[in-house]
Amino acid sequence: LAWFGRLHPLTDPAVRWRVLVTGALLAEFQAAYQVALAWISVSLATLVTIGSVPVLVAAVTAVRDRQWPTLPTLVPVAVSLAGLALLSGASAEGWGAAAGIGMSLLAGAGFATLTLVTARSVGHHGAVTAAGLLLGGLLLTPFALVAGMSVPFSGSVLGLVVFIGVVPTAVAYGVYALGARTAGASSAALAAMLEPLTATLLAVGLRGERLSLAGIAGAVLVAAALVWGAAAVNRPGRPRASRSRARTSPPVRAR
C-alpha cells in the first residue's frame, strides 16, 4: 500500500499533519480497546466501542453544525444500538467492568475522532493511509514489548500476521476512510456496525455457532439500520458529503 500510494506527497505540511493525527488516533483506539479486554468480554467491549462511535459522531456533528441531528440520522443509530446490544448478549458487573467500559468508551472516542478527521480530505489517500497505519503500528510497538508480546517465527503464524495486517487492517481502513469522505462521517460511523454483524455471521457460517432468538433479532435490527442509513444517504436531493467539502477544502497538491 505504501508503494502504490507513493509517499512523496508527505512533503506537504497538511498531509504530514494528517498522517500524525491518523497514526496517533489509530494507536490510541487499538491500545484502549486491548486494555478494555483485560477487564471485560470481547462482546461487551465491542458493543461499547463500536456502538459509541455513531453516537459520538452524531453529537459532535450536531455541535459543529449547530443543529439537532435529523430523524434519518437518529433512528438508524438507535435501531443499530438496540440490535448490537441483542447481538452481543453482553453483561458485566463490578469495578473491573466499569474500568473496561471506560476504556471501551475511550477507544470509541478515538475511532469517532478518526472518522471525523478522515471525512475531510487532504488528498493523496493512499499515501496518508499507508503512512498513518505505519506510524500507528510504530507507536504501539513499545506497549507490545512492555506487555511481553511476541510472534512465533513459523510460516503459518507469519502468514496470518501478514494477512491480518494487509486485508482486515490496511485494506479495510483504506476503504473505510474513502467511504467516510464520500458518504460523510455519520454514515461511515453507522456502517462500522457491520463489523460485529459480519463477525457473528462468520462465526455461524464457519464455526457452526448458533444464534439465540435475541441474537437473530439483533442481527436483523443492525442490518435494517444499515439499509435505512444507506437509503437516507442516497435519497434524491441530499447533497453529497464529498461535494460540499470539495467547495471548502480543495485537495492539496504535492509540491
- Rounded distance, CA 81 to CA 78, Å? 5
Predicted confidence at residue 237, as pLDDT, reads 52
**Owner of C-alpha cell 506537504:** 12
Mean pLDDT of 62-74: 82
C-alpha cell at 70: 435529523
Predicted confidence at residue 254, as pLDDT, reads 45
Residue 205 burial by CB count (10 A; 0-12/13-18/19+): exposed, middle or buried? exposed
Q: Sorting pLDDT into bands at 50, 70 and 90, what band is 7?
A: low
Predicted confidence at residue 243, as pLDDT, reads 42
Predicted confidence at residue 111, as pLDDT, reads 94
Does 238 have pLDDT greater than 80? Answer: no
The better pLDDT of the pair 93, 113 is held by 113
Single-letter amino acid, residue 45: A
Tell me the per-residue pLDDT of 52-67, one tens digit each, with 9 for 90 and over: 888 899 889 888 888 8
Q: Sorting pLDDT into bands at 50, 70 and 90, what band is 8?
A: low
Which of these ranges, 90-94, 112-116, 127-131, has the smallest mean pLDDT?
90-94
- Rounded distance, CA 164 to CA 235, Å? 35
- Rounded distance, CA 215 to CA 223, Å? 12
Biggest distance spanned by C-alpha atoms of the chain: 57
Domain spans of the chain, in order of start:
2-150+167-246
In angstroms, what CA-CA distances link 128 with 21, 86, 162, 197? 10, 37, 20, 28
**Owner of C-alpha cell 447481538:** 87
Q: Sorting pLDDT into bands at 50, 70 and 90, what band is 112?
A: very high
**Owner of C-alpha cell 476512510:** 177
Q: Sorting pLDDT into bands at 50, 70 and 90, what band is 244?
A: very low
The better pLDDT of the pair 223, 183 is held by 223
Q: What is the DSSP letter of 120?
A: S
Work out the percent of the chain whose per-residue pLDDT is above 90: 12
- Rounded distance, CA 74 to CA 186, Å? 10
The count of other CB atoms within 10 Å of the CB of residue 147 is 10
Tell me the per-residue pLDDT of 25-42, one tens digit each, with 9 for 90 and over: 999 999 999 899 888 888
Question: Which range among 44-58, 103-117, 171-185, 226-240 has the greatest average pLDDT?
Answer: 103-117
